[in-house]
Structure 1
Amino acid sequence: MAVVLGLSLFGIYMFRRSTPEQEAAGLQRLTLAVITLLSFLLGAVCSGVAGYVGMWVSVRANSRVAGAARRSAREALQVALRAGGFSALVVIGMVVLGVSVLYSSLFVYFGMDQPGGLKMTDLPLLLVGYGFGASFVALFAQLGGGIYTKAADVGADLVGKVEQGIPEDDPRNPAVIADLVGDNVGDCAARGADLFESVAAEIISAMILGGTMARKCKIEDPSGFVLFPLVVHSFDLIVSAIGIMSVKGTRGAGSKTPVEDPMAVLQRGYSVAILLAIVSFIGSTRWLLYSEQAPQAWIHFSMCGLVGIATAYAFVWITQYYTDYKYRPVRIVAEASTTGHGTNIIAGVGLGLESTAMPVLVISTAILSAYWLGRTSGMVDDMGEAAGGLFGTAIATMGMLSTAAYVLTMDMFGPIADNAGGIVEMSQQPESVREITDLLDAVGNTTKATTKGFSIGSAALAAFLLFSAYMDEVSSFTGVSFREVDIAIPEVWLGGLLGAMLIFLFSAWSCVAVGRSAQAVVNEVRRQFVERPGIMTYQAKPDYARCVSIVASSALQEMIKPGVLAVGSPIVIGFQLQDHLGSCPGQMNRQHLGKILVIFSNVRG
């Protein structure tokens, strides 16, 4: 599918008009189309490789964690965290490596800053295909992985735990292997692809905004503003690795439980990564963003980065508050469970809706604060107007993602611990070993939720950056300043309305897909229990492979419909509204269409 979409992009770019800067540099349409195709495929391949490596490590670390749990809970914690850390570092490393290789290749190919050649500040616009390729793979990794893991989970629990009354991860359940595989698919590969896409989009959009600001402000050496995102995420690999290695585990003579809460141990490592990220961020800002035109600007940009880092920490804390068993929300749901299923569902849905308030307030405060700090940095354009506001929000996003590798580590810790618990249960280990893996699994559920909240927040900031970068590119094509989106224009309002509607339609189709896939698993598990009564007495072995095959094929089939909706809707709406606006003058037509697609994509994102 990636190849087909890449060829479609090639065809689109063959008929697309270049920007004035690209035309002045002699960049031909064929060259631009080839670059976009290759960068798209590179982004898709890097994202796929990162997800595959994450699953490859996870499935091999599970048994090691189970073995470590027989000796010490601390050792099991350390093995699980470092295994997740390796996968996370590979994911972020692939983003940085892919963008760096692509940027360096184009830099050498075009001979940057040569007389009459392409300028360094315009080069990031050629990298957008990489982000699109990463987004395309992330979409189907999350969609297919989500359908797989939830269908297997529901199918295994409904028949095994509810109907047959056997424990979770019991080897007599035919869907137990599919359930364990689903944890790796949904929480390792899918979450890795999600953060890969967020980081890639953030890097490329920040490079575009940095180059645009440097060009407007006539900065003599714009390289620091363009390359700053790559440097920040290179430091991310270092500070996150140190944070991971700071989480020590000891065998503990005769001790089967940690001296302290595992979540506290993980948070201590995160605090180490945060502190190092602050130091590296301030140093990088002074090194790369100092300019003679505005000597104090780097201080403002450093503060923007601190706003982003504080936002990341706030998201981690908020998510932990709503998902950790030690705090009020989880206890409310547990108390509601004592009076029946209905009150449990009502309490859970209510708290879920309540949990959206604080993250939105935090994101709103972060965007406004970073924009104000950037705007007052002293960076001004030819007209004397402040030009650093959008770049300030870009730096805040970089700050939030400056410890992305450690946060992703905590996410991948979850399925590794969960699978280790399944191995312990299926191998009939002593109860004391199962208690250790259950403890790690409980912490892993919280860390998985933490990463989901973190990825949502980072995606919101990245969406704002893409929103801004898209407006800059529309301005380059039309030659008209594009700073405002007027929602009083009916077509623009329609774009926002359609974008909001598509979220619910996409969610509905995804839920229906999970339901149909789960039904197939439930029917298969029931059939095996009926046709093989010896399964319950351990006299017959369940057909695990059959359940894995069913849920895998069903997930692949069911993800097509919502996937096509997500990919095709912007194209269809763009062409339909372009025809509707065809009577407008050329420049006005492109401006209106740009505004419509901006509000549509931003609301949908």
Structure 2
Amino acid sequence: MDSKGTNMTMDMVVMSAVESLGTTHGDMLASRPSSKSESDEAVSSILLVLWIAAVGFLLVAFRIASWVLSKSEGPPALRKVSDPIREGAYAFFVTQYGAIARLSLILALVLFLSYRFRPVGNNGGDTYSPTVLATICVASFLVGGALSGVSGLIAMWVAVRSNVRVCAQAIMGSYNGAIQVAFRAGAFASILIVSLCLFGLVFLYTVVWLLLGANPLTIPMLIVGYGFGASYVALFAQLGGGIYTKAADVGADIVGKIEKNIPEDDPRNPAVIADLVGDNVGDCAGRGADLFESIAAENIGAMILGATLASTSSLPDGDQVSYTLFPLILHGMGLCACAIGVLAVGTRSDPGAVRDEETPVLRGRMLEDPMVVMKRGLYVTIFLSIVGMWFLCSYFLYSSLYPSAWWRFAICGTMGILTSLAFVVITEHYTDYLFYPVRSVAESSQYGHGTNVIRGIAVGLESTFPSIIVLSIAILVVYSLGYGSGLPDKAAAGVFGTAVATMGMLSSASFILAMDVFGPIADNAGGISEMSMQGEEVRVITDRLDAVGNTTKALTKGYAVGSASMAAFLLFRAFLDEINSILPEGLVLKSIDLAYPEVFIAGLLGGAMVFLFSSLSMSAVGKSAQAVVTEVRRQFNQHPGILNNTETPDYGKCVSMVASSALKEMILPGVLAVTGPILTGLVFKMCGRFSHRPLLGVQAAGGQLMVGTIAGVLVALFFNNAGGAWDNAKKYIESGAYGGKNSEAHKAAVTGDTVGDPFKDTCGPSIHVLIKLLATITLVVGPLYLAL
């Protein structure tokens, strides 16, 4: 048979299978009456499943935690180092989140008062008073903020307890044990955070449905404050933690490595404890809150889009509920896939205790690459996510009215999952020293500090292009698939296709965050082993984990930007749907037109705000680092015995100094991010009132959201990948290339790494949050921009 005949045969087989599944499922759906009771029954059934999933995976997370905490903490020398790290992290966390809580309460009061003037509209036939709307918004805002804060605490709590256990496993010679403790500690944090996010959404949905008897399709619009609260807390958590960790890191490197020529994590460096504390409050607590708000905001946006599509397509009531709650169902499936993927992480063999004839170099060569170990688990997670995606789409998105819709949306979800993998691959190419871009940065270090910085900037700029190409192809493909699904509202179906793709990207979020938290835990383990003067055979294991942890942190940042980009598109459409649900008859907001000068100006302001925010964040790190440098120099000058180990550094002084500076410096960029979008919308609302254009404020806010998101995505990609390239170029030289440690090339690489620290760990991650904060602010406050 020729290839054409073969293809026709395959097409017939696929279509036959699709029609068979559709017919079976369609018969089941046709047997159910379409009524209010059907809608209530569907909501009850799906919510029950979601409650079981949320609570069940919370229990799974605690089971993983009990396994990690059952491992030994090792000899007292390790606790002597780890205890100050734990105490410093807790002290900063309590102070930081106390400040965030006060700011959140002020904003909650402002939201409540502002919502008294919000247009009420007709929410799917349910009309509520401004007081009721304000109460729901503020309650969901506070729940989202509180759970986001708890997520950060959880990530940090497990990190400061597992770092010493990883080091203890290395002392026992268990390489596999060290990897599993570090990774499963991250998995505990990630699974618990995603479960908490799901728990919060299901809780709010259930309460609003039961207490108000609200239309199930309009509830997502009522609880948009949940995403805003999560984003608000995550912004300050990421900013404060990022400023802390990089100020301590930069200050420690400038005086320790460059001026005094002492190794990283050397106990003689007064800033070393502050540096290790920073890994936990920035990379763990900040990233945990970041992931929480990503899932919260994107779930709510996808639920709004699903509800809009279902209602405009005249689907049966039960199917409308399925479309609305489908994003939450997908996250339950993602948790299951990730939990199984975690079990697949482990080395194929463990060398065991060190033998007398082994040298550290030989020992290092025997160790399986930790990245390969983790990728096995990632591939398992991705495979299970794809299988789960097809099953859930066939069950929850099938309709006898539109039988081809479900498999098109399943392809959209699969495309999203593969897009997340593509982002990981691209980021690895530009940030791992196994590949040319990072090696080119290392090579340029031979010629001086300036050439290193120039090449790193070039790599960061270049890295944005392939990422955007992948993102553009993904959005175009999934939109086209949704558009051709057969549903009558083609544009809404296309955007829902992007929503399903975004949910597909986030289906592996738990596993990706586990890889992220693995990084700072491994970094801390290396620092503890160095400060406790462990032997070289221990450092071989912790150094191997630390080097890979650097790359995993970079990969997760690329993944975060990709998911934020996809989410921004769906949240923008959710914003339009929300506004149209409020507008009186005769007024429709179909699109945002940048050809209007006011909208174009608002767009420019959105783009400029990203750069101003980046500048303020970078300056905050610089100011805080200067204070650390001054203090470390003072201690070395006034206590020269520190360098020959006859005097002990005052670690606490640096810890308290960095904490105070970080908390002070996070306020200005944070306030800019929150107030900037609101002021823009209100100013143009007044302009619209005077010019009799009631939609001008909303259009300006939409323009700011569009351009601000585009600028934010590009800048975040640049910051993340440039910083990662500089960091791993330094690691590559430290492995022995171009003269190794203490060479001139190494000193130049340290300079590049110092420049890159605020790029990749402060500005880049904070812009991830800013992108989603822009969208959630616009969703929550957008109705106030209407000049009706």
* TM-score normalised over the length of structure 1: 0.96
Map of 1:165 onto structure 2: 261
1:553 maps onto 2:656 in alignment: no
Match of 2:351 among 233, 238, 252: 252
Give yes or no for contact 2:330–2:503 (8 Å, CA) kept in 1.
Answer: yes
1:214 aligns with 2:310: yes
For 1:476 and 1:530, how far apart are their aligned partners in 2?
67
1:514 aligned onto 2:621: yes
Change in 2 beyond 3 A, CA 1:173/1:43: same
Aligned with 1:390 (options 486, 495, 501): 495
| Cα distance per residue 1:553-582 (max 9 Å; x no partner) | 100100111111100001111121112222
Equivalent residue, structure 1, for 2:372: 264
Matched, 1:527 2:634: yes
Alignment match, 1:66: 167
Q: Residue 111 of structure 2 is aligned with which of 9, 30, 38?
A: 9
How far off its partner does 1:254 sit? 3.7
| 2:596 corresponds to 1:489 | yes
Alignment of 1:558-573 (within 5 A): 558-573=665-680
Question: Structure 2 regions of 5+ residues with no counterpart?
Answer: 1-102, 355-362, 709-770, 772-788
Report whether the alignment pairs 1:361 with 2:469: yes
The 10-residue stretch of structure 1 (53-62 or 593-602) with the greater mean CA deviation from structure 2: 593-602
Residues 1:136 and 2:232 are matched in the alignment = yes
Deviations 1:90-145 (A, max 9, x none): 1111111111111111111122xxxxxx3211111011000000000111111111
Structure 1 Cα separation of the partners of residues 196 and 663 of structure 2: 25
- Aligned match of 1:121: 217
CA contact (8 A) 1:242 1:273 kept: yes
Moved more, 150-159 or 186-195: 186-195
Counterpart of 1:99? Answer: 201
How far did residue 68 of structure 1 move?
0.9
Mapped pair 1:82 → 2:181? no
Q: Which amino acid aligns with 1:428?
A: M
Q: In percent, how many aligned pairs have the same letter?
A: 53
Q: Could you say what secondary structure the match of 2:508 adopts?
A: helix
Aligned to 1:600: 704
What count of residue pairs does the alignment treat as equivalent?
592
Instruction: Find the aligned partners of 2:492 and 2:160 in 1 and give their Cα distance.
Output: 49
2:686 corresponds in structure 1 to 579
Q: Structure 1 residues 363-372 or 50-59, which shifts more? A: 363-372
Which residue in the other structure is 1:314 paired with? 422
Superposed displacement of residue 247, structure 1: 0.9
CA distance in 2, matches of 1:488, 1:29: 34
Counterparts of 2:667 and 2:706 in 1: how far apart (Å)? 23
Letter in 2 for 1:571: I
Amino acid at match of 2:451: T
Cα offsets for 1:189-228 (capped at 9, x unmatched): 1111112111111100000000011111111121111111
Q: CA–CA distance in 2 between the matches of 1:398 and 1:19? A: 29
CA distance in 2, matches of 1:195, 1:212: 26
Cα distance per residue 1:317-370 (max 9 Å; x no partner): 111111111111111111111111111111111001001111111111111111
* Rounded Cα–Cα distance in structure 2 between residues aligned with 1:348 and 1:525: 28
SS in 1 for 2:246: helix
Alignment partner, residue 504 of structure 2: 399
Checking the alignment, whether the CA contact within 8 Å between 1:36 and 1:127 is kept in structure 2 is: yes
Residue 169 of structure 1 aligns to a residue whose secondary structure is: coil
1:285 maps to what in 2? Answer: 393
Shift of 1:160: 1.1
State whether residues 685 and 698 of structure 2, in contact with CA within 8 Å, keep that contact through their aligned partners in structure 1.
no
Whether the aligned pair in 2 keeps the contact of 1:471 and 1:594 (CA below 8 Å) is no
Match of 1:115 in 2: none
Structure 1 partner of 2:519: 414
Whether the 8 Å contact between 2:209 and 2:215 is mirrored in structure 1 is no
Q: Are the equivalent residues in 2 in contact too, given 1:308–1:399 (CA < 8 A)?
A: yes
Matched, 1:472 2:577: yes
**Counterpart amino acid of 2:216?**
M
Q: 1:543 aligns with which of 626, 646, 650?
A: 650
Is the CA contact (8 Å cut-off) linking 2:415 and 2:504 kept in structure 1? Answer: yes
SS at match of 1:120: coil
Q: Choose from 214, 224, 227 the match for 2:325.
A: 227
Q: Is the 8 A contact 1:379 1:386 kept in 2?
A: no
Instruction: State whether structure 2 residue 340 is matched by structure 1 residue 242.
Output: yes
| Structure 1 residues without counterparts, runs of 5 or longer | 112-117
CA distance in 2, matches of 1:378, 1:259: 53
2:224 aligned counterpart, secondary structure: helix
Work out the CA distance in 2 between the residues paired with 1:277 and 1:396: 12
Q: Partner of 1:294 in structure 2?
A: 402
| Match among 551, 564, 572 for residue 459 of structure 1 | 564
Work out whether residues 46 and 134 of structure 1, in 8 Å CA contact, stay in contact via their aligned partners in 2: yes
Deviations 1:282-318 (A, max 9, x none): 1111111111220110000000001100100000111
* Aligned position for 2:145: 44
Q: Classify the secondary structure of the residue corresponding to 2:218.
A: helix
1:248 deviates by 2.1
- SS of the residue 1:298 aligns to: helix
Q: What is the Cα deviation at residue 511 of structure 1?
A: 0.9
Give the equivalent residue in structure 2 for 1:433.
538
In the alignment, the residues of structure 2 paired with residue 259 and residue 21 of structure 1 have an alpha-carbon distance, to the nearest angstrom, of 60
Q: CA deviation at 1:252?
A: 2.8
Preserved CA contact (<8 Å) 2:580 2:588: yes
CA-atom RMSD in angstroms: 1.3
Letter in structure 1 aligned against 2:598 = E
How far 1:251 moved relative to its partner? 4.2
Residue pair 2:152, 2:284 contacting (<8 A) in 1 also? yes
The reply to whether residue 199 of structure 1 matches residue 299 of structure 2 is: no
- The answer to whether residue 246 in structure 2 is matched with residue 150 in structure 1 is yes
Structure 2 SS opposite 1:20: coil
For the 8 Å contact 2:682–2:697, the answer to whether it is kept is: no
2:285 matches 1:189: yes
Quote how far apart the aligned CAs of 1:236 are: 1.4
Deviations 1:520-560 (A, max 9, x none): 11111111111212211212111111101110110010011
Number of the residue aligned with 2:752: none
After superposing the two structures, state which structure 1 stretch, 430-439 or 167-176, moved more.
430-439
1:25 positional shift: 2.1
- Normalized against structure 2, the TM-score is what? 0.74
In structure 2, what is the Cα distance between the partners aligned to 1:440 and 1:202?
A: 32
Secondary structure in 1 aligned to 2:368? coil
Contact 1:376 1:386 in 2 (8 A): no
Deviates more, 1:96-105 or 1:480-489: 480-489
What is the aligned partner in structure 1 of residue 551 from structure 2? 446
Shift of 1:602: 2.6
What is aligned with 2:126? 25
Instruction: Tell me which amino acid in the other structure corresponds to 1:59.
Output: V
Counterpart Cα distance in 2 of 1:66 and 1:242:
26
Secondary structure, counterpart of 1:355 in structure 2: helix
